[in-house]
Amino acid sequence: MTTRLARGGRLIDRGAPLEFTFDGARLRGYQGDTLASALLANDRLLMGRSFKYHRPRGPVASGVEEPNALVNLGKGARAEPNCRATTTELFDGLAASSQNRWPSLDLDVGVVNDAMARFLPAGFYYKTFMFPRPFWKHLFEPVIRQSAGLGPAPKDRDADRYEQIHAVCDVLVAGGGVAGLTAALAAARSGARVMVLDQAPHWGGRAPVDGGEIDGKPVETWVNDALQALETLPNVVLRSRCMVAGVHDHGHVLAEERIADHSPGDGRPRRRLWRIRAGKVIAATGALERPLAFAGNDVPGVMLASAVRDYLVNWGVSPGDRTVIVTNNDDAYRTAIALRQAGLAVPAVLDARERAEGDLPQQARALGIRVETGKAIARVQGRKRVTGVQVCLQAGEGAVLEDIPCEAVAMSGGWSPVVHLWSHCGGKLLWDEAGAMFRPDPVHPPTGASGQPMVVCAGAAAGALRLGDCVTDAHLAAGGDGGAPAGAAPIEAPLAPVWVMPQGAPVAMRAKMWLDFQNDVKVSDIQLAAREGFTSVEHAKRYTTLGMATDQGKLSNINGLAVLSQALDEGVPQVGTTTFRPPYTPVAFGTLAGEARGPLFQPLRRTPMHDWHEGRGAHWEPVGLWRRPLAYPAPGESVEQATRREVLAVRQGAALLDASTLGKIVVKGPDAGRFLDMLYSNLMSTLAVGRCRYGLMLNEQGFVIDDGVVARLSEDTFLCHTTSGGADRIHAWMEDWLQCEWPDWQVFTANLTEHYGQIAVAGPKARALLETLGGMDVSAQALPFMGWAEGQIGGVPVRVYRISFTGELSFELAAPAGQALDLWRQLMAAGEALGVVPHGTGALHVLRAEKGFVIVGDETDGTVTPQDLNMGWAVSKTKADFIGKRGLERPALTDPDRWRLVGLETLDGSVLPEGAHAVADGVNANGQRKVQGRVTSTYHSPTLGRGIALGLVRRGPERLGEVLEFPTIGGALVKARIVDPVRYDKEGARQNV
């Protein structure tokens, strides 16, 4: 049984009991417990099932490296799968449930996979589900998907809030253990701005459990003193529960702070993402203990020696009355000593080394603990929990010398420095033969913006595992002046690298030696991968899934590499490591999204009339970050019906459009005309003051990128209208050319898009409407087509442009943004008698398509030239140069076979599907049907009472009258005739009145 001892537990408060549930059972723990320690205290050793074989699993670790004890936390809008019980702080009312089991954790049908394990080796899926090919899509994949994943993804919208914060510091210390605190003190005393972040809720790392003295004080006392000293320094920020997830380019560090995981619903944000620019990162991230590979090392009750020690010392939890220690190093003897001092039995320490004469083994012996050197575990007995171990010789093949009954096994295969933060930005690693570990290669650090070393590892993370070395190293890493703190701890003898136990284990044993506990990767799987040619460590990883579980191989990678290197008969450094990638431990999607969700997902740009549209029940169309009314459906009216009504309102009376989103860029200066002549394909410098001209902008390739009307405001000032989505892009484009290509031209540009509200008044009654309000002469004589004038309408100062995108008599009124809504309201009120309505972009699109006017982005896609759009007239033949002129001369762009703009009319009057392609005879090299054109815009035209479309068709304008075939997704063919794109008022009489 695992149980709570009567005494002990430095992190728990026995005066503060808490209630929680696991799979519905009500259990009790204490303030300061983790979910794992509380479950163990309640003899709930079985916490999960492995991914592939559904093997019963208990915790193997006590921290972030835990691969087994993953649970679902919370319910409904606070449900979260795959939470590590070992790092989940207990709180009153916590509700956890187990995963990857059915019907229950104790009785799991999926365990049948375990019985089949012999037939489910590495690469089983790759080998098995290849043929017949259709089976993959219809049979294999659906079945495999059903069984994939551990916990189910939550279905409800997350109830919690997440936030993000930016910070800057000179020195960021990742890890608040003795090394981190030493480094922080040294850095802070030099005056640097220091941030110290630790993933745990408490400071000191694991040194208080391991013991020893610093500066003559017990470690725990020293830690408290160091913390107090740091807290008083104004240049130090301390954050616990804050995990440094990754070190990125130029000292950009991301960290995730768990603010309210342990107090859900208290009103605080649940987590916070820190985006930090650090001058230097000190990675005092410690080291992780490695498991040993022996048969049955995954049976619940087999734990890391350090984890057994943690549960005992931190939380007063006994792993069982009798614990066998198995090790290749001195450190694990600390666990034996701690257990014995807590009054528990240690039947034996099985040490794979031939000799164990260090301080710690001697202390153990002095306590009467039996120490067996040269010994190993042949097999762990028990299934859902350990009942005993069989002892064998490490040097042999596993012949059983002795059975030792026990409830727990504490294993230690040595320690691996946590080099993740060093490696994220390219720091290189050294293989340390003596320590059998990868540690940072100080000659090849990750470098920052000026090429300086950006990360330094300190203490155990740098390979300085012993307390004394650890604090000295950390002090030096932080550039500390004077003497380092002096750490004192027992002297440890070197470990013996042991990767497989016993060294001559037969295959039946190797097939029960787990490397990756969560993904069920065993020693035999890595050896199989090597035999099958997956000799690169990255290939072997993906073939076997070693290290690909939620723990990302924190326990398994080094052991897996070592087994692979033995199978390949190469050294570990030759085999190399897989890549360490951020985040160090999983970061919640919510944290990364922060406040950018719901209404705050994107900024929303509103025109001055936005609220009016909303009040009128506008159906919105997103245009960039703007919202534009697509139509204004009346009660009981569909969007389509409203669009038809609005089209007819423009054609027969008058209607208003909010055109405020159109880009408005002022270009001013002595060289403004010359500059616009370069930017537009047609001539702009000849435009008279008071007049407007439509223009096309091309890129250097010769393709259309934007269009709009340019008005000349004065001799040296032009106002360039751009597409709604294009204002920022075109303004940046102008600035690029001005600053980089023609810096000596005297031109200023200003993007005034949001300074004006713009209202298009279109329809035969448009002039009558403006005259009702009065204030300026808008007669054809005073303000002819393609002219503009300044004045007042209804008391509002306006610039009125006689331009038309609907083909009707049309005025665009630009008013200062603050007065545009007033003008809009006056127009609506005055128009009531005339039957004036607002119209949306839906109607606008139909109206312009009836006139054959193109929309950049509909008729163009970045590969369309002015000539393709039949707008050769807008390409100057007299200008010596303009952007795109040389590009248009390329043979592919002058090819007469290019697809060009036409109108398309279905023979049956129906609306062509959007994006439909016109097929041609024959097939291409890939066996696909050849195409000869496509639909770019397609609508029902209420004016014409039929479907109309615009499209690009090979040699289109030369083929008027031909009938093309458009296959639809359902397989039917729609026939459409090529017609003139201008379907309505070809002479343009209606707009020019």
Partner 1 sequence: MLTLTCPYCGVTAEETELTPGGQAHLTRFGPGSSDAEFEGYLFARTNPKGVHFERWRHAYGCGKWFHAARCTATLEVFGTYPAQAVAPPDDLIAHIKARRPGWEGWT
- The tokens describing 36, both together, are 């794992």
Question: Is the N-terminal amide bond of 502 cis, ω within 30° of 0?
Answer: yes
What sign has the CA pseudo-torsion 259, 265, 267, 272?
positive
Pick 19 or 249: Cβ nearer partner 1? 249
Shortest reach from residue 750's CB to partner 1, in Å: 11
How many Cβ atoms sit within 10 Å of the Cβ of residue 8?
A: 18
Strand pairing class (371-373; 349-351): parallel
Are residues 546 and 519 in contact, defined by beta-carbon separation less than 8 angstroms? yes
Shortest reach from residue 831's CB to partner 1, in Å: 41
Pick 744 or 897: Cβ nearer partner 1? 744
Shortest reach from residue 607's CB to partner 1, in Å: 23
Cβ neighbours for 96, distance < 8 A, ≥ 6 positions apart: 20, 21, 22, 23, 35, 71, 72, 73, 83, 85, 88
- Report d(CA 595, CA 164) in Å as an integer: 8
Shortest reach from residue 449's CB to partner 1, in Å: 5
How many Cβ atoms sit within 10 Å of the Cβ of residue 148?
A: 9
Shortest reach from residue 256's CB to partner 1, in Å: 17
DSSP 832-879: TTTT-EE--HHHHHHHHHHTT---TTTT-SSS--TGGGT-GGGS-SS-
Shortest reach from residue 453's CB to partner 1, in Å: 11
Q: E-assigned strands of 113-251?
A: 162-174, 194-197, 213-214, 217-218, 236-239, 242-248
Tokens 């067996």 locate to 372
- Report d(CA 419, CA 432) in Å as an integer: 13
Pick 452 or 968: Cβ nearer partner 1? 452
93 sits in the region (left: phi over 0; alpha: psi -120 to 50; else beta) called left
Are residues 302 and 193 in contact, defined by beta-carbon separation less than 8 angstroms? no
Shortest reach from residue 861's CB to partner 1, in Å: 18
Shortest reach from residue 735's CB to partner 1, in Å: 7
Pick 138 or 877: Cβ nearer partner 1? 877
Shortest reach from residue 885's CB to partner 1, in Å: 5
Shortest reach from residue 250's CB to partner 1, in Å: 5
Are residues 239 and 198 in contact, defined by beta-carbon separation less than 8 angstroms? yes
Pick 319 or 448: Cβ nearer partner 1? 448
Torsion of CA 515, 519, 520, 525, to 10 degrees: -70
Shortest reach from residue 422's CB to partner 1, in Å: 15
Shortest reach from residue 20's CB to partner 1, in Å: 40
* Residues lying near partner 1 in the complex (CB under 8 A): 248-250, 252, 277, 426, 447-451, 700-701, 732, 735-736, 739-741, 743, 880-881, 885-887, 889-890
Shortest reach from residue 749's CB to partner 1, in Å: 10
Pick 514 or 703: Cβ nearer partner 1? 703
Q: What H or E segment, with its residue span, contains residue 226?
A: helix 219-231
3-state SS track over 614-641: HHCCCEEEEECCEEEEEECCCCCCCHHH
Pick 519 or 681: Cβ nearer partner 1? 681
Question: Is the N-terminal amide bond of 743 cis, ω within 30° of 0?
Answer: no
Pick 90 or 247: Cβ nearer partner 1? 247
- Report d(CA 681, CA 696) in Å as an integer: 6
Pick 534 or 882: Cβ nearer partner 1? 882
- The tokens describing 705, both together, are 């990128």
Shortest reach from residue 601's CB to partner 1, in Å: 17
- Report d(CA 814, CA 608) in Å as an integer: 12
Cβ neighbours for 488, distance < 8 A, ≥ 6 positions apart: 212, 213, 214, 216, 467, 468
Shortest reach from residue 166's CB to partner 1, in Å: 9
Q: 459: which DSSP letter?
A: G
Pick 611 or 736: Cβ nearer partner 1? 736
Pick 736 or 777: Cβ nearer partner 1? 736
Pick 602 or 779: Cβ nearer partner 1? 602
Pick 427 or 947: Cβ nearer partner 1? 427
- The tokens describing 940, both together, are 């029902």
- The tokens describing 461, both together, are 């993370």
Cβ neighbours for 9, distance < 8 A, ≥ 6 positions apart: 30, 32, 313, 314, 315, 316, 317
Pick 432 or 889: Cβ nearer partner 1? 889
487 sits in the region (left: phi over 0; alpha: psi -120 to 50; else beta) called beta
- Report d(CA 123, CA 395) in Å as an integer: 31
- Report d(CA 614, CA 599) in Å as an integer: 16
Pick 277 or 940: Cβ nearer partner 1? 277
- The tokens describing 990, both together, are 């209606």
The amino acid that residue 128 corresponds to is T
Shortest reach from residue 740's CB to partner 1, in Å: 5
Q: 817: which DSSP letter?
A: H
Angle at 681 between CA 675 and CA 684, to 5 degrees: 50
Shortest reach from residue 743's CB to partner 1, in Å: 5
Pick 661 or 751: Cβ nearer partner 1? 751
Pick 146 or 450: Cβ nearer partner 1? 450
Cβ neighbours for 617, distance < 8 A, ≥ 6 positions apart: 632, 633, 634
Shortest reach from residue 895's CB to partner 1, in Å: 15
Are residues 610 and 625 in contact, defined by beta-carbon separation less than 8 angstroms? no
Pick 736 or 958: Cβ nearer partner 1? 736
